[in-house]
Each structure stands twice: as C-alpha cells, then as structure tokens.
Structure 1
Amino acid sequence: MKSYLRPYVVRLVSIWLMAIVGIAAAISLPLIIERVVDGPVARGDTGALLPLGLLAIGVGVVEAMLIFLRRWLQVKPVLGLETAIRNDLYAHLQRLPMAFHGEWQSGQLLSRATTDLSTIRRFLGFGMLFLVMNILQVITVIVLLLNKYWPLGLLVAASAVPIVWTSLRFEKRYIKISRQVQDEQGDLATFVEESAIGIRTIKAFGRRHHVYDRYDDAALKVYGTSMDKVRLSARFFSFLEIIPNITLAMVLLLGALAVGTGGLTLGALVAFTTLMLQLVWPIASLGYILAMAQEAMTSADRVMEVLDTVPAIEGGTETIDEPRGHLRLEGVGFRFPDSDEPVLHDVWLDVRPGETVAVVGATGAGKTTLTALVPRLIDPTSGRITIDGHDVRDLDLSTLRSVVATAFEEPTLFSMSVRENLMLGRADATEEELADAIQTAQAMFVYDLPWGLDTRIGEQGLSLSGGQRQRLALARAVLSKPRILVLDDTLSALDVETEALVEEALRHVLREATGIVVAHRASTVLLADKVALLRGGTITHVGKHHELLAKVPEYRELLAQDADFDDAAEGALR
C-alpha cells in the first residue's frame, strides 16, 4: 500500500466501526419500544417509563452523533483518495510515450481524470459504506424477526428473494449501458475540446453550422443512451418500491391476527413493524447502490485501462556528469507498430560537439521522426543512439532531457504567463538569461504585451500568431542551454526579415551546442556546418552544402523549390 494512502485507510476503518455501532443503536431502539409497550404502558407503571424513555433518548442521541461524526470524518479520506488516484493517473500519463497519446483521444483521458474519478469517489464515500451497512442491517434484522415471530420473519425473508433476483439481472444490463454512456461522454468531451481549439479554423471556413450539427448528433447519442439507462433504472426502482410496501401491508395484517390470537404481544408487533420499516430503506436503496457500484466498477475499469498501460519508454540509471554533446545514430531504424513499412532504416550520422547538421528531405521523408528519437519521445526499433558514448536508453530521462532541448514546428504553449511558458525548459533561469533567450529568438514582442512577461497567454497560445508562437518555443529551447539543440523546422512561420535576425542570433547559440536542424529553406541550411540528405527513410548523403549542391541532383531539386535558393546557392559557391 502506498504510504500516503495509509492514513486515509485508517480513518476509513474508524468510520466503518462507527457505522456498525450506529446500526446497533438503530436496531436497539425498537427493542426498547417493545419493553415500553409490554411493560410500563401495558401495566400503567409510569415510574418505570422514565428510565426506559431516557434510555431510548440516549440511544437516539448516540446514533445521531455517530452519523454526524461518520459523515464529518469521511469527507477528507474520500477526497484524499480521489486526489491521490488523480495524481497517480496524471503522473502515469506523463510517463507514457507519445505513441500512447497519439492513439487516445484527449477527451477520453479527460473524462477518466474527472468524471470517472468522481464516480469512484461517490461510491467510496457513500455507496460502498452503505452497501455493507445495509447488508449487515438486513441480515441482523431478519434474524431478529425470525427469532421474534418466525412466520412473519419468513414472510419478510421471502420478500427479499425477488429483489435479489431482479438486482442480479439489473446489474448485468446496467454494467453494459453505463460503460456505453461513459465512452460516449468521453467522445463528446473530445469533440468539444477540438472545437474550442480549432475555433479559428471553423470560423474561417464558415463551418459553424456543420460543426454544431456534428456536436448535436454526438450530444443526442449521449442523450439517447442516457435515457435508456434512466428507463432501466426507473423500472428497477419501481419494482423495489412495490415489494417492501406489499410486504409491510401483509405484516400488519398477519401481525394483528397474531396479536388477536395471543401468538404475539402488542409490543412485539410494534417492534416487529418498526424493525420491518428499517428494512425498507436498505432494500429500496439496494438497486441505487448496486447501480452506483456498477458505475464505479466501470469507471475503475476505464481508469485502470490507463494505469495498467506499461510505459514503453523507461529511463535508465546512467547520468552524464559533464556532457559534451557528441551525438551518434548507429544503424537506426523506426517502424510504427501498425505498419509494415519502416519510416527510417539504417540511419548513420555522427555529429561532433559544437557541430550543426541540417537534415534535409522531402515531405514525409521521416525528418520529424528522426528528431523525436534524440530526446526519446519515441524509441528506435533497430540500431541505437548515443550521446557521449552512452546509449540514450541507458540514460536517466531527466538527465537526457536536460542535455537535449527541442523546439517543434508546431509549438505548444500553455494557458499561463509568457514567463512561465519560457521557464518550462529551465526553472532557475535568471532575468538576464531570459532576456538573452528572448533576444536570440527575436521575441521582443513580449515586452509590448499588456503585462509584459507576466501576460497570460490563452490556451494553445491562440492569441498569438504562428510566428510569435514559434519564436517563444525557440526562446524556451535556447533558455535551457542544452548541449544538443534540436530544431524541427522551427523557423517555418517567420517572415524573411525576422528569420534572418533569428538565424544570425542562432549562429552564436549553435557554436556552443550540438545542433540538429530540420531545414526546408536554403537560408536555414546555411546555419549548419554540414548537411544530411534524408531520402527513402535513410541518410544517403552527408557533406558541405556547396558539395551536395554541386554533386547531388536530388539535393539541388529539394532546395530549388525555395525562393531564396538562387541567392543561397550563389553565396555557397563563392
């Protein structure tokens, strides 16, 4: 058991003990009433009535206090358990590789971390406790009823049979429909999230009504399934209300006849009826609690689908005390699990410390996949990647990702301040270092925002332009001062003037780091000391820009698509 869960479990045990004592107090009240009716009331002894009355009041007060304490104490452990599970789930999601997140819809993960955990919490805080309490109370009361007057006791016990049988049938159907509702709610959450993120595209293409219709279809699907669930529950709960009421009527009728024939005292009938009434709530709530249990089991199953997923990428134990940034790809290959064709195969590349390599290739050649291999966002399916002679799979992940920093073509910015977004790469950066990184990425626009670096950026950075987002992502990568800097076409959204300024600043940064630059523009290629041509999933040529330009037609064709090619080629050949 996790150490932080132990205090919550201990408190839950004390709550259960109070619940059991509370049941005992509730059951003892009808027995005291029996003594009052058959004793002082029947004999007219008012003197004996006071102590029994005080005893009944005392038992009632104890029961009320126990209920109050139980409900007051159970809030913290139940919420604590939910928080602990949510923290575990979130931490596990962070450990899972990119392949997992690529296969799962974000709405499905969101519904598991919110709706499903709330369902589990409600059952742990209410349903599970009352399920055990009600079963215990039903068994104890039926035993007392059989002991008090067995014919009526058998009648009450027999009335539980159809309830149990119906509950078992209801349980199987409810499991299936509950899972269906929860899955559809996850799909709907995904749709809402995607619509919110892509609102600019939706508006730009005038597809608001189309998107709304799709949302409405998904919402109606959830509504229809939820109504089926409600109808199933309504039939079951109606049945549970009918049986106890019929049984109570029969108990009163047969009990009155028994009192008339002397087979049962009036006090015993009052106690029997009171005890019988105590069974109404446990039996009537059985279906509700079972439904809650099934929803919690379904939610637990959905959460465990994530928690049981073994991270495909686990960190090693090795560290690098003084990293130099010597990067080698040795026969590296990569194939997606559901594909027969490899994206990369037999890739060899040696990048020495302080050296910059531009990776050039056609769209779909595998450039982004290659850059994702270096920080172990994905792992090669063959070959190995080393940094300073250490296989990256043997390195501690925190060590590896402090050595390697990546700026992506499509940067992700979070709903936090500019400063917080930049310092994700390095939390202990000084103001001077922050200013230098902003200057390098030509992101000085941040100082013109309403609150400067403390301006909160909207979700996904949608309040900024594509070029501004790329510059902030580049500044974040530069700020971390990595030994290996990976730039995945980071300058694609910049205008020509800004790109030239960023490239000039990057030259100084790349002198102190090993660089891997994915390039589509001739001007970006000129940042590199050498160029690697990626073609057909492997590196076919490595050399100086002017050498490849002169000797490799495929390389010249790729760069010829850039408008600045002629100027860059002329400069390279001089």
Structure 2
Amino acid sequence: MSVVSAPVPRQPATRAVLRRGLGVIWGGIQVERRPFALAVVGSVLWAAATVGTAGAIGWLTDAVIEPAVGRRSVSAADLWAIFGLLALVLAVNVVGVILRRVYATVAGFNLQARYRRGVTRQYLRLPLAWHHRHPSGQLLSNAHADVEATWQVFNPLPMAIGVIFMLLIAGGMMILVDPFLAFIGLLVFPGLFAANLVFQRAMSPRITRAQELRAEVAQVAHESFEAALVVKSMGREDEEADRFRARTLELRDSLVEVGRTRGTFEPVIEAIPTLGTLAVLGVGTWQVAQGDLDAAQVVQMAYLFSILAFPVRALGWVLAEIPRSVVGYDRVQHVLTARGGLEYGEGRARRDGGPAASRLDSVTYRHEGEEQPALHAVDLVVPAGSTTALVGPTGSGKSTLTNLALRLVDVEGGAVTLDGADVRDLGKGEIPAVATLVPQQTFLFDDTVRNNVTLGADASDESVWAALRVAQAEGFVRALPDGLDAMIGERGGMLSGGQRQRVALARAVWRRPRLLVLDDATSAVDPSVEQAILAGLREASDGMTVLVVAYRMATITLADQVVYLEHGRVLDRGTHAELVDRCRGYADLVHAYAREAAERAAVERSEEEAR
C-alpha cells in the first residue's frame, strides 16, 4: 500500500517547455475560439481603459484642475467634466473586466469539462487489464487534478494578452509625452520581465511537485477509504494514519516552500515598478523645473507606471502556469492515448429467447506481466439450458474463464463462441444484451433498491419483485421502510454482505439473460438461502444457461456438469459423483469444502445454543 515518492522534477522555463506549453494553449484556443475571443476583446477594452485613465487624468489635470486651482474655485461644469470623463473610462473598464473574466472562466471550465468527459469515456473503453495496472487514486487524479492543472492557465491568459496591448499603448503614450522620460521609465520593464522569469524558474518545479503530492495524498486517502474494513479488522488504524500523515506533511512542506519562494520574489517584483515610478517622478520634476515638461505630463507618466505595476504580473502568472500545464497535459494524454480496448464486429447475438450455448476452444490467456498463462489450452462446452459448475483451487483460473466467456477480456489463443458465433465478431453491446455476470465482489449504487435492480430502466414493480423473489431478497426488501424505494447507502452499506449479493443477483435475473455467469456470487449467504436461490434459478432457467464458480457442495451437486481446473487447465469434467470416483484432486477439494462447511455449521449451532 506504499506510495513511492517521485523526485522533484526539473521544469525550467526552457524553450522546449515554453514551446510545448504554447502548443497546449493554442490547442485549447482552437477548441474554445468564441469564448476565448470574447475574453481577449474584454481584455483589450480593459487595457485601453486602464491606460486611458492615465490620459484622462493628465488631460483633466491640464485642462480642468490646474485652471481651477489657479482661480481658486471649481465650477459645476468642471465637476461634470471630471465626473463624466472618469465615468466613461470606468464604464469601458468595467465592461472589459466582465467580458474578460466571464469568458476566460467559460473557456477554461469548458475545456476542463471536455477533457474530464474524454478521460472518463476512455476509462470505460479501456480493458480491465489496463485498469489493473493503474491505481484508482491515480485515475481520480488524472480526471480531476491533472485536467485542472492543464487548463488553469486560461484564467490569467486573456489578462496577459491585454497587458501586452496595454504596454504597447502605454509605451506609445509615454513616447509621445517625452521620449527621454519614457526611456527612463521603460528601463523598468526588462528588469520586471527578468524578475518574473527567475520567479517562474524557481516556482515551476515546486508547484509541479506540490501537484504530484496532491495526487499522492488523494491516492492514499482513497486507499484508506476503500480498505476501511481491512484497516479496522487488522487493527491498522494508527499505521494507516501515520502513512497518511507522512504524505500530508510532505505536501505541507512542499506548499510552504512554494509560499516561501513566492514571499521572497513578490516584494522584489512589486518594488521594481515603484522604483520606476520614483525615477520618473524624480527626472520629471527636474524637467518641470527646467521648463521642458509641465506637471500634468509628469502626473500622467507617473500614473501610467503605477497602474501598470500589477497587470504586468499577469505575464509572470502565465509563465509560471505553463510548466504545470505541460505536466498535467502529459498525464491526461497518457490516458487519452492509451492503447487497448476491444474491437467489435458487426454480428448480432440471437435474441429470440431460449438458453444460450457457450464454448471455449483451446483457449489460452496470460495476465500482462506474467510468464505462466492463467489458462492453457482450455476446452469447455456449456450446453444450452444446462448448469455448469467450475471447481478448482484458488488461482486455477476460474474467474478468468468467466471473464473470457463474457468477453470482458480477449483470449490470447483459441476462440470463445456464443451460440456458435465468435464473441469477437459480435457488435458492441450484443453480449451484455444476452449474458450477465454476477461477481463475488458486488457493487451497489447509493440509490434505491429498485434502481439498483433495474439500473434506472423502466420496469414494473411486479417484474422487480419477481427478480427479488428468485434471488431470495423479497423478504428483507419488503421489511425496509420504503420497500423498493429504500435508499441502501454507498456501495449498499445499509445492507449485509449476503443481502448485497442477493440484490446483485436480482439485478442479473431481472434482465432474463440467456447466459447467467455466477462467480461465487452467493458466498456471503447462508447455505439454506443458497439452496433456495439455486432452486429458484433452476425453476426460472427455462430460458437460461448457468455457468457458476462453485465452492459449496449445495451448488456443486445441483450442477448438470462439473468442470475441475488446476493450474489453468481442465483436468476432468462430468457429474459430481463421477469426479469424486475418478479424480483425486477434485475429491480432496470437495471433501475439504464439506469439512469446512460442517465446522462452520457446528460453530453456528454452538453460538445459537449459547444465546
């Protein structure tokens, strides 16, 4: 359950990173052209209004304020001129800010939603083998934190583009006012850009590492929630808390380092424009004294520098976000470009009712990364309308065989057929339409009993109750306060393990499959209830073939044929009585099952007597 700590990645603002980051940004712009264009229009309006404020103040100083000071009175016309001009500039500024912020947000969140949908669709498309190689915490991080990191840059981007226009307009205005003073002031900007670049180089690896640690903390937390039963039953609460604590402390230290770096650079970056303003005021005052400039021009220049100080920071924000975007994009693309999945043909499964026939011919399957095959040259015939029990020791390949029968994974060699058609030739959705799996580890949604049985499909109460009756779930469901409409909690937490299995079985029965596959799907129910379930399935199986992974004698003895597996091979098949007589491994195994069942029954009887 440990999480390996990754080294702090080096993410300097190299040309390669900047080029890739700009490529990511351009791809996003192409997808969200209209919202981004409106955000840029708003940003340009904001830039023009911000710089225009300086021009307006300069003009008002020269044309209104200085004359009013000279005559020591202010007329109503003067006040209306000041108010009207500033209100006009403010209105343009407000409209620009609204457009910029609203549509930058729309573009960014549209991209996040698009990519989250793409990632989750890919999760559904990729085969089970791929999911087995990727922990669920990492998959959650890909769909959330990494997608967010990729497109977070769209928040400051329109503002940064507006800043470029602002600098061009302001630079032109300053040059028109006085080239020498503009030159003195503009010397600030190379220093500001250099400071932002150094800031970005220092911040990028720290922010990237913090992003990785967020994913690791999420992964540890998710494992702790999923393994709550194991943790509590094994008394590992303190150890699990220590594991989570170590990750959170590492994340804390990483975020502190980010804050320390930010706290070091930000005062310097804030000070540079102030120094430029002071330089402009100093040189401008000297020029006013010499008669080369008037006070209004110096005020206009100083104000321009004061209002440019904060917006120019947006360029640094974009530079700081680019490496994070590249890291997030690479992680998301790892999912979106993953190879695998099942290819489908155009064939259709027979849906005219009646049980299905399943067959495996010389099937071989090997789990990825393993040298020995899980199944080797397996031949199996499951006749239509029969009940076939798969029996074998742990690791013999029983669950793998059921997955192959329903084409949850593809064979490495040989073929699997359903009613004589190769399952690889059937169209998408054809197998689920006629065959259903009930696994041992059942999953129920945080929803009503009805919706867990029908999965949201329209159904009459009678059909749902009939399925629950076959699964021996009718009694406890009727006892629930709201019956079919009772909420059963996350993963069915309001029900016992056996009750969850019975609801999952009812879910399969309700679909009236032609092939029903049970992978030890009644392991949590009492033997007497299991016998009633199996009897109900036999009565309802006039149109159903049943393939069951069996451990209990009640299941095995009810089967029409028993298939015994060891080490991925079929060693024998026949009735229970035939295999007991001629197959030593099978006899030893079922006798062990019987002894275990007898011991469990004796314990339960003694507990009952003690009560």
The TM-score, its normalising length taken from structure 1, stands at 0.89
Separation of aligned partners in 1, 2:191 and 2:542: 81
Letter of the 1:483 partner, please give it. R
Tell whether 2:112 aligns with 1:82: yes
**Cα pair 1:325 1:514 within 8 Å, conserved:** yes
8 Å contact 2:160–2:312 — kept in the other structure? no
- Residue of structure 2 in register with 1:525 after alignment: 556
For residues 385-440 of structure 1, give each alpha carbon's deviation from its aligned partner in whole angstroms, at most 9, with x where no partner exists: 2222332223233222122200011111222222211112x723322221111111
Give deviations 1:223-272, integer Å, cap 9, x for gaps: 11221222222223222112122222112111211222233332221221
Residue in 1 aligned with 2:51? 27
Instruction: Give the secondary-structure state (helix, strand or coil) at the position aligned to 1:563.
Output: helix
Which residue of 453, 478, 485 maps to 1:447?
478
Distance in structure 1 (CA, Å) of the matches to 2:412 and 2:199 = 48
The answer to whether structure 1 residue 18 and structure 2 residue 42 are counterparts is: yes
- Among 393, 397, 417, the residue aligned to 2:448: 417
Give the 5 Å matches for 1:162-181: 162-181=191-210
Are residues 1:185 and 2:214 paired? yes
In 2, the alpha carbon distance for the partners of 1:247 and 1:565 equals 86
Deviations 1:130-159 (A, max 9, x none): 122223322332343234333333333332
Once residues 286 and 425 of structure 2 are traced to their aligned partners in structure 1, the CA distance between those partners, rounded to angstroms, is 84
Contact 2:195–2:269 at 8 Å: present in 1 too? Answer: no
Say if 1:178 and 1:298, in contact at 8 Å, map to a contact too. no
Partner of residue 376, structure 1: 407
User: Can you give the 5+ residue segments of structure 2 that lack an aligned partner in the other structure?
Assistant: 1-28, 599-611
Identify the match of residue 177 of structure 2 among 140, 148, 167: 148
Contact 2:127 2:340 in 1 (8 A): yes
Is 1:247 the counterpart of 2:276? The answer is yes
Equivalent residue letter for 1:22: W
Query: Aligned with 2:342: secondary structure?
Result: coil
Q: Which amino acid aligns with 1:111?
A: S
- Measure, in 1, the Cα distance between the counterparts of 2:597 and 2:241: 48
Which of the residues 497, 509, 529 maps onto 1:498?
529
Aligned to 2:310: 281
Structure 2: which amino acid aligns with 1:36?
L
CA distance change for structure 1 residues 433 and 211 in 2, over 3 Å: closer, same or farther?
same
SS at match of 1:505: helix
Q: Give per-residue Cα distances to partners, 1:47-98, cap 9 Å, x unaligned.
A: 9967864344323222223323544555555444433333333222222222
CA apart distance, 1:561: 1.0
For 1:202 and 1:174, the matched residues in 2 are separated by 38
Q: CA deviation at 1:365?
A: 0.7
| Range that drifts further, 364-373 or 392-401 | 392-401
Which residue number corresponds to residue 37 of structure 1?
61
Contact 2:44 2:96 in 1 (8 A): no
Aligned counterpart, 1:216: 245
Q: Please say if residues 423 and 476 of structure 1, whose CA atoms lie closer than 8 Å, have aligned partners that are also in contact.
A: yes
Paired AA for residue 264 in structure 2: R
Unaligned residue ranges in structure 1 (runs of 5+)? 568-574
Q: Distance in 2 between matches of 1:159 and 1:450?
A: 73
Distance in 1 (CA, whole Å) between partners of 2:258 and 2:525 is 53
For residues 301-340 of structure 1, what are the structure 2 equivalents within 5 Å?
A: 301-322=330-351, 325-340=356-371
- Cα 1:298/1:207, change in 2 over 3 Å: same
Aligned to 2:302, the other structure's residue is in SS state helix
Distance 1:189 1:361 in 2: 38
Distance, in Å, in 2 between the alignment partners of 1:333 and 1:170 is: 57
2:609 aligns with: none
Match of 2:520 among 471, 475, 489: 489
Which has the larger displacement, 362-371 or 388-397? 388-397
Mapped to 2, the partners of 1:510 and 1:179 lie a distance apart of 57
In 2, distance between residues paired with 1:13 and 1:423?
46
SS in 1 for 2:593: coil
Query: CA–CA distance in 2 between the matches of 1:258 and 1:488?
Result: 90
Given the superposition, is the C-alpha separation of residues 111 and 29 from structure 1 closer, same or farther in structure 2, using an over 3 Å criterion?
A: same
Query: Residue 62 of structure 1 is aligned with which of 64, 73, 92?
Result: 92
Structure 1 Cα separation of the partners of residues 189 and 96 of structure 2: 28
Partner of 2:376: 345
Bigger Cα displacement from structure 2, 449-458 vs 139-148: 139-148
Residues 171, 182 of structure 2: 8 Å contact kept: yes
Aligned equivalent of 2:134, options 104, 114, 128: 104
Kindly state the Cα deviation for residue 118 of structure 1 after the two structures are TM-superposed. Answer: 4.4
Change (3 A) 1:173 1:415: farther
- Alignment of 1:466 with 2:497, yes or no, is yes
Structure 1 residues 374 and 263, CA, compared in 2 at 3 Å: closer, same or farther? farther
- Letter matched to residue 437 of structure 2: T
The residue aligned with 1:544 is: 575
1:196 pairs with 2:214? no
Residues 237, 287 of structure 1: 8 Å contact kept = no
Closer/same/farther in 2, CA of residues 334 and 139 from structure 1, 3 Å limit: farther
Question: Separation in 2 of the partners of 1:93 and 1:241?
Answer: 46
User: Distance in 2 between the 1:565 and 1:528 partners?
Assistant: 20
Q: What is the Cα-based RMSD across aligned positions, in Å? A: 2.9
Distance 1:106 1:564 in 2: 38
CA distance 1:539–1:81, change in 2 (3 Å):
same
Q: Deviations over 1:440-473 (max 9, x none)?
A: 1111212212322222222222332221221111
**C-alpha distance in structure 2 between counterparts of 1:261 and 1:314, whole Å:** 83
Q: Distance in 2 between matches of 1:566 and 1:16?
A: 73
CA contact under 8 A between 1:174 and 1:294: conserved in structure 2?
no
Residue 521 of structure 1 deviates from its aligned partner by: 2.1
Give the residue type in structure 1 aligned to 2:546: G
Number of aligned positions between the proteins: 561
Q: 1:237 aligns with which of 245, 252, 266?
A: 266
> Residue type matched to 1:462 in 2?
G
The match for 1:407 is: 438
Q: Deviations over 1:361-397 (max 9, x none)?
A: 1110111111112233222222222222332223233
The one of 367, 390, 393 equivalent to 1:362 is 393
**Partner AA of 2:43 in structure 1:** A
Q: 1:515 aligns with which of 532, 543, 546?
A: 546
User: What is the CA distance between 1:321 and its match in structure 2?
Assistant: 4.8
CA displacement at 1:43 relative to structure 2: 5.9
Matched AA of 1:59: V
- The equivalent of 1:571 in structure 2 is none
Alpha-carbon contact 2:41-2:100 (below 8 Å) kept: no
1:501 CA displacement? 0.8
Of all paired residues, the percent bearing the same amino acid is 31
Query: 1:6 offset after TM fit, Å?
Result: 9.6
Q: Does 1:136 align with 2:165?
A: yes
Output the CA distance in 1 between the equivalents of 2:327 and 2:552. 52
Distance 1:460 1:353, change over 3 A: same
In 2, Cα distance between the equivalents of 1:454 and 1:296? 45
Question: Per the alignment, in what secondary structure is the counterpart of residue 482 of structure 1?
Answer: coil
The 3 A distance-change label for structure 1 pair 321 and 504 is closer
Q: Give the distance between the partners of 2:164 and 2:30, measured in 1 at CA.
A: 26
Tell me the amino acid that sits aligned with residue 241 of structure 2.
Answer: Y
